[in-house]
Amino acid sequence: MAEFTGERLIPGEVDVDLLNEHMARYAFAARLARGKRVLDAGCGAGYGSAELAQTAVSVVGVDVAPEAVEFARRNYRGENLSFQAASCTALPFADGAFDLAVGFEVIEHLEDWRGFLREVLRVLAPAGQFIVSTPNKLYYTESRGEQGANPFHVHEFEFEEFREELLAVFPHVALFLENHVEGVTFQPHEAGHTFEVRVDAGEPAPAESHFFVAVCARRPQMGNPIFVYVPRAANVLRERERHILLLEQELATKDEWLDKVQRDIAQFDREHQKLLTMFREQQEALERSNEWAEELNREVQERRARVEALQAEVAAGQEAARAMAEQYAAKVRELEEDIRGKTQWARDVETSLKAEVDKQTAELVKAVEALHASEKELHERTEWALQLQEEARLLGEQVALFRGSRWVKLGRKVGLGPVVPAS
């Protein structure tokens, strides 16, 4: 189902009064549509085109919104009824293709409304008529109240401006004032076929009218009768009672909502007081922080002055260090020269020492070899001495045996045998 935005009316999704307001304009146009080729420019959901098709030879509904055209095609069908998606300022029809064109509540939506009027004039036959309507800017602005301007309207018209714009394109314009008025009907129980209407009306008041409706043509038009539309749901009091009931229900809902809002406001006030207390505490803390920041700023200024003084000292120290570094560099160069001389001397000494060491090493080798030979000789003589010692020991033992022999003792007593020394 198409969405009702407040600008594209969908039957069954709006209250009866609003639907009747729109249907009245199509009923007004249906009197002039009999036996004619009709164009419904800005047809919307298509319900008005279907109303015109009841008396017209053919009706073509045109709307710039494809979804509106699709809705109209699904919901309103007839052999003499068709719908097309097209712009009202660029109608896809030949010159003089229609005998009657209607454009209800369309012109205020268009930036190029003058182009729209010229385009309608182009597709009308020489004797064709154009019925156009628009809300009264003065009344409409007042009726919307706090809602403000209608976001779908590009340009709204007051009575004189509307008439001047139409006369700039169409030579003949008959203007009507559409108002939703209260009336009383006497309807026979058995349906009749004749109607009598009495309208007690004062002087027309365009500034107070709800809508302006104009019948435009190239040629002069005959008569401007008052037209009264009595819709099917015509028991105004009953409708108002139902409307009042709905309003009362809505009012009860709003009262509940108001009570809730008041409770919320009380809660909000309590929360607000808490926030105020927190804000005061934060403000005091902020003041303390500001005082601390000022003190800190003073310290920063003092330290900055000290830093500048230290920077000056550092600069002086750097200059002194640079001079000292130059002296050190000269001393280093002098030391390097001395080291190079000493290094050469050391190399020379190392060469001579190496030659002496080689000589001493050769002599040492010879001495070691001689020592080894002496050790060998000593070892041999030691073995010889040990051998002699062993032989002497054996001889000593033999001598001891000899001395201890009884034969030797006997011979000594008798003076015979060799004399053996005591040791």
Give the total number of structural domains in the chain.
1
Domain assignment present for residue 169? The answer is yes
Q: What are phi and psi of 198, to 5 degrees?
A: -120, 125
| 303 inside domain | no
Q: Please, what sign has the CA dihedral across residues 276, 278, 281, 287? A: negative
| 109-125 CB burial, b ≥16 within 10 A, e <16 | bbeebeebbebbbebbe
Tokens 């920063």 -> residue:
300
Residue 17's pLDDT band (cuts 50, 70, 90): low
Confidence of residue 11 (pLDDT cuts 50, 70, 90): low
The answer as to whether 11 is a domain residue is no
DSSP state for residue 181 in the 8-state scheme: -
CA dist 367 to 252, 358, 375, 395, Å?
136, 14, 12, 41
User: Considering the domain boundaries, does residue 269 fall inside one?
Assistant: no
- Residue 43 exposed, middle or buried by CB count within 10 Å (0-12, 13-18, 19+): buried
Confidence of residue 422 (pLDDT cuts 50, 70, 90): low
Sheet of 98-104, strand order = 81-85, 58-63, 37-41, 98-104, 124-135, 211-217, 172-178
36 is a domain residue? yes
* Residue 239 pLDDT: 58
- Whether 44 is in a domain gets the answer yes
- Inside any domain, residue 110: yes
Q: How many other C-beta atoms are found inside a 10 Å radius of the C-beta of residue 104?
A: 22
Distance of CA 122 to the CA centre of its chain: 50
* Dist. CA 80–CA 189, nearest whole Å: 34
Rounded to a whole number of angstroms, the distance between the first and last alpha carbons of the chain is: 160
Q: What digits encode the pLDDT tens for the residues 327-363?
A: 878 887 888 888 888 888 878 877 887 887 788 888 8
| pLDDT tens for each residue of 57-115 | 999 999 999 999 999 999 999 999 999 999 999 999 999 999 999 999 999 999 999 99
Say if residues 154 and 108 touch (Cβ distance below 8 Å).
Answer: yes
Q: What is the CATH number of the domain that holds 61?
A: 3.40.50.150
Whether 155 is covered by a domain: the verdict is yes
Q: Which range of residues forms the domain containing residue 214?
A: 16-186+195-234
Rounded-to-integer distance, Cα 185 and Cα 81, Å = 33
Position 1 pLDDT exceeds 50? no
Token pair for 85: 């998606």
